[in-house]
Structure 1
Amino acid sequence: MTAPSRRTAATLLSLDRGVTPDLPLSRYRRALVAVPHPDDEAIGCGGLIACLAAQGCDVQLLLATDGSGGPDAPFNAVEIRVAEYARSAAILGARERARLMLPDSALRRNFVQLKRQTASHVRDFAPDLLIAPAIDDPHPDHAALASCMAALAFDLALPLITYEVWAPIQATHVLDIAPYLESKRQAIQVHQTALRFGNYLRAALGLAEYRSLLLPFRPGVDLYAEAYKIFL
């Protein structure tokens, strides 16, 4: 896999132009982002959300779980994390579509309800682009939500952009997020509850630096990128 030639920062650059085309983000007017937990929107695709919003796209977030977390989470974790999530969405320029508030770490057990509610919101919003966790993400909540979104993308013939959180993906496209890095950084930083249990900020920015190797090299310029697997 070779780095693409230099193109615009508002385009998802194909890593194999013989197989998949570049994807100019300006073509999309309504994007729905499926978010498993409060903080995944910023960690996984904060740069993409900010970029789409900057292009005038109506980006709406669909939060699947209540973010209650594990046994070490504070007693009022749901209230705190949802408030952090709302601030993150505002920083990235997105709007909230809905909060399904299904139990954290239990999307597989509530899969029928998840599938029904997700489909209802997608059909009501009528987006021209879907964004979701990677289908092979090892977190069971992420995988369950990804499965729902992949089925909807197929049924409705919509493009699906999948993002990485808990494991690197076999990317088809890369996005230069340097113009949106500060928005991504600030959005992650508001998730102070999650940051008590892991340095997600350092991990996300480190991954963005590593993924920048897929961009055209520019000596002396700090590059940052997000990588995606896209189904058109």
Structure 2
Amino acid sequence: MIPASLLIQQGATYRKLAAGEVVFNEGSPAAYYHQLITGRVRWCNITEDGKEILHRIVEAGESFGEFPLFDGAPYAASAIADTPCTILKLCVPSFHELLRRNPDIHLAFTSSLVQHLRFKFFLTDLLAQNNPETVISKLISYFNQQGKFICQDCHRLLLTRQQLANMTGLRVETVIRVIKHMEKQARVNILKGKVFIPAEEITAAVNQVG
């Protein structure tokens, strides 16, 4: 998102994390801008009974935990390494200075935040329909259209059924049942427990975006 060289020039440092390691906790103060270089990070809330409410899975090249950088409030959710990952972190004053000096980056950064908000509106509206099959099928279709969480080579869905459940608030058993029904409709393929999107679905999504 922001060139790594520019972040380093501004004083950013690398941080490596193992899978499951916490980047920051909900409620803690925000001291850094975080940008993912390699791996994946889950941005989520953890309920008192240990259930995970998944807001977003961050991919390489994306930033996360940005809102506190502008309002000074603590983090509203936790960030946890989903896989081994490398992060660039830049202290907040230096990040603000970088944005002031680079209005084009500031504009791109704002655009990225708007995209994340649009996804939250999309998901909220989707969940209000209270139909599990509609929720899962439209969510997968959305990711397909955006080219996210779908392997570009093998067309495998890069989200687990548990992650889909955590993202939608559905029971994982419900997600499994919905995906099996989608397989019967030839809307997905399941091979050795992995979910694949048929090539015709990929093409339709690309044409719809175009």
Tell me if both proteins adopt one fold, taking TM over 0.5 as the criterion: no
TM-score normalized with structure 2 length: 0.29
Larger radius of gyration: 2
Higher relative contact order (CA 8 A, sep 6+): 1
